[in-house]
Homo-oligomer: A and B are copies of this chain.
Amino acid sequence: ADIKAGRQIASAQCRTCHGLDGIAQIPVAPHLAGESEIYLQTQLKAFRSGKRTNEMMDVVAKNLTDDDIANVAAWYSAIKISVEMPE
């Protein structure tokens, strides 16, 4: 997969809701930062096929090729995340 190509897709089609860095910009969208490539690919393909549905994602996913999906999954997956639990 081509991470730079994935970054371009993320910047053009994902960032308004999910952030270029994978931190969601709106509460109804999930963070994508650091999610596994297989998870991201599976979900994008599920939106594309209609197995999983969401008003926004149905529209976005149907225009993505398998290569696009592999590339954008590689981008978000490559973001490192760290967490801090509440006391």
Task: Please report A residues at the B interface, Cβ cutoff 8 Å.
Answer: 3, 20-24, 27-31, 33-39, 42, 51-53, 78-86
Given the known interface contacts A22-B83, A79-B84, A80-B83, the answer about A28 and B3 at a Cβ–Cβ threshold of 8 Å is no
Find out whether the CB atom of A82 lies under 8 angstroms from the CB atom of B85. Answer: no
What is the total number of copies of this protein in its complex?
Answer: 2
- Kindly identify which residue among B20, B21, B84 contacts A80, using a CB–CB cutoff of 8 Å: B84
Find out whether the CB atom of B28 lies under 8 angstroms from the CB atom of A85. Answer: no
Find out whether the CB atom of A33 lies under 8 angstroms from the CB atom of B81. Answer: yes
Q: Measured between alpha carbons, how far is A79 from B85 in the docked complex, in Å?
A: 5
Given the known interface contacts A28-B38, A28-B42, A39-B29, the answer about A86 and B81 at a Cβ–Cβ threshold of 8 Å is no
